[in-house]
Amino acid sequence: MDTNLSLVCVGIDIAKDKFDACLVPALGKRKLKEFTNTPDGFAKLLRWAGHLAPSSAFHFCMEATGSYYEALASYLADANQLVSIINPSCIHHAARAQGAGNKTDRADAGVIADFCRKESPPIWRRSAPEVRTLVAMMRRLHSLKDLLNQEQNRLADPGLTNQPEVLASLNKSVGFLKGEIDRLLAQVNDHIEKHPGLRADRELLTSIPGIGELTAAWIIAELPDVRMIGSAQSAAAYAGLAPREYSSGTSVHHRTHLSKRGNVYLRRAMYMPAMAAARYNPAVKALYDRLIAEGRPRMVAIGAAMRKLLMLAYGVLRSRKEFQYTPAQS
């Protein structure tokens, strides 16, 4: 980027089929426009921004919303543009701080643009090719398991007892899906084994009681490079595992719960491992037992265990040292 150019921030609120962009010029009114979430829409975004601010460099900023942002972020990065990917919880809190009353895509794009201008968030670095491949494989695995669960639920329908043709079809579908899942799991393992960096990360993660090879693969795929994350708390927030409290004045208080504004794949992947860690990982067990002893609901304690386990995962990846329990970690 030419350092002599003025920097213009562009906030993007992205969805599956389209995105809204808000360009904040140094002078004058902000500009808003909607684009399709396609390569053609990406190209039009760059032309639009260049037309509005021809003597400027651009800093594009968007939320980490599912996988919807990835194609646009990659396109912009390949075009040598500055790109930042922000945890949705940061934008949510920024909107509340601004007193934003309207919850629309255009309003959200404006909040993101203002956040980019004020906070200068870190620049996103595109994942290595082997990580992108792992992401695609793990998300395909997630889809196959969802389909298998749906077919097994249909198979359990007592109304199908006298429907042999339907039962045969369902059994065939279940068998196919189980075979595909087994093949994909083997491919995931082979892929990690072929890449020393992925294999080293898996070894570090599986040193943590409660994290097996499958959970490790999810963390490697879905957690951004830990060098780009400032703290273990930020890693937990990325997965939507940050505790959120709601209160107003002295009379309105709701139970503290997880924000759930973050990477849903990573959050889901931590649930069952956290339940195991609450029994076998001393750092997680101490936290879980303390919350239960305090009378906290079981799901609150499990949520805290999920958060703790992911923070431990961040710790071993950041330090490059295998997990070793010390009482201070409880």
137 and 111 in a common domain: no
Which H helix or E strand runs over 201?
Answer: helix 196-205
Last residue of a domain, one of 119, 145, 178: 119
276 and 185 in a common domain: no
Is 282 domain-assigned?
A: yes
pLDDT number for residue 102: 53
Last residue of a domain, one of 119, 152, 184: 119
pLDDT, averaged per 10 consecutive residues of the chain (330 residues), comes to 74 93 88 96 97 93 83 93 85 66 71 92 86 95 97 92 92 98 98 98 98 98 86 88 52 48 87 97 96 96 96 97 84
Is 212 domain-assigned?
A: no
Single out the residue of 48, 39, 62 nearest to residue 110, CA to CA.
62
182 and 149 in a common domain: yes
Is 205 domain-assigned?
A: no
Task: Give the CATH number for residue 108.
Answer: 3.30.420.40
Q: Who's near 269: CB < 8 A, 6+ residues apart?
A: 215, 218, 219, 222
321 and 256 in a common domain: yes
Contact 110, 22 (CB under 8 A): yes
182 and 91 in a common domain: no
Number of domains in the chain: 3
112 and 20 in a common domain: yes
Is 199 domain-assigned?
A: no
184 and 229 in a common domain: no
**Cα 38 from chain centroid?**
21
138 and 188 in a common domain: yes
Last residue of a domain, one of 119, 138, 159: 119
Is 219 domain-assigned?
A: no
173 and 231 in a common domain: no
Is 124 domain-assigned?
A: no
pLDDT number for residue 107: 83
Contact 44, 28 (CB under 8 A): no
Q: Which domain holds residue 258?
A: 225-329
Q: How many CB atoms lie within 10 A of CB 228?
A: 12
- The C-alpha atoms of residue 314 and residue 107 are separated, in whole angstroms, by 33
135 and 114 in a common domain: no
136 and 114 in a common domain: no
The reply to whether the predicted model has a pTM over 0.75 is yes
Is 210 domain-assigned?
A: no
Buried b (16+ CB within 10 A) or exposed e, 207-225: ebbbbeebbbbbbbbbbbe
- The C-alpha atoms of residue 46 and residue 121 are separated, in whole angstroms, by 20
Single out the residue of 243, 237, 261 nearest to residue 310, CA to CA.
237
245 and 188 in a common domain: no
Is 21 domain-assigned?
A: yes
